[in-house]
Amino acid sequence: MSTKITSEPFGQTEDGQEVTRFTLTNSKGASVKILDYGGRVADINVPDKNGKMGDVSLGFDNIKDYEAHPLFFGGLCGRVANRIAGAEFTLDGKTHKLFVNNGPNTNHGGKAGFDQRMWKGEIKGDKLVVSYLSVDGEEHFPGDLSVEVTYSLCEDNSLKLEYKATTTKPTILNLTNHTYFNLAGHGAGHLDDHVITMYSDSYLPLDETGVPLGEVKKVDGTEYDLRSPVRMGDRLHNVPGGKGFDINFCLDNNGEMKLAARVEHPPSGRYLECRTTEPGLQLYSAFYIYPMTGKEGAAYGKYGGLCLEAQHYPDSIHKPDFPTTVLRPGETYTQTTIYKFGII
């Protein structure tokens, strides 16, 4: 096996649960660390153009800080990632009222989404499998939902996430990972010198609360036209609303694996490519990170990282024309997303 996996204690949660940190290391020395708390990506160490390893994901050195700053750092988001308008939905004639945590809406699962739950981590050969049973009624979602995410660190420095889920009752599901990337290093503090390309010609316009209006709009002539490489510092502050990027791009991939985005950081020589089978990719440039201390005493703040959240479209349960997020008994939800790191 080319990838070795080790585990070590990572402290206790506030309610006394033991947290484990798993480290996946490939033969080239790249490594990824995963916590069973939230199934979250805690570290990603990859080389720069000079061969020097650096951690390119934002996070914390201890479990207490993850609990104190619930901004989804590296976490798995669910049951339903992104927003559900009005914090409720109706499925098969029954209305389910959810926790309001984002304006008038529900965001990333509710009061305590999957990123704040303890997952079961199992080393299976050269892969790490994290699993979680979300019981019927948790956060007011119906059905016992069994979720499994397999993490693999490949020899080409790709981090591969394979998701699988089943339910005992009709429910809705939209899973994603919320790692904050900064290719200059997690403590670099800004994204200005990153260059981004989004392989998408359409996006979802939003209302004032961040919920899609229901139309799919072409990026032509907008600040969301990132089909050619754009320096983040030249575009980030011009996005409508004044809060940087927090928008779903449509991939039109029919469930097939597609290159969705590429981010380059010329000073370090690193690049990141995101491929996914999901129909959407949320680009988020971390406007809501308030000043805080991250790993190794690093200062984190607004625009200090970017997220590439592979997902179904937000608020799909209220938008019949969007790809469905309904999952029924006998069906299996699947998703594969790959984050590949390399040198320009």
Q: Please pick, among 96, 178, 194, 312, the residue that the annotation labels catalytic.
A: 178
Cα–Cα dist 98/84, whole Å: 9
Q: Please pick, among 138, 139, 264, 309, the residue that the annotation labels catalytic.
A: 309
Q: Is 155 a catalytic residue?
A: no
The answer to whether 65 and 10 are in contact (CB under 8 A) is: no
Helix (H, G, I), strand (E, B) or coil at 246: strand
Position 323, amino acid: P
Position 121, amino acid: G
CB atoms within 10 A of CB 82: 29
Cα–Cα dist 218/64, whole Å: 43
Position 11, amino acid: G
Radius of gyration from C-alpha coordinates of the chain: 19
Q: Is 264 a catalytic residue?
A: no
Cα–Cα dist 316/80, whole Å: 10
Question: Which active-site residues does the annotation give?
Answer: 178, 309
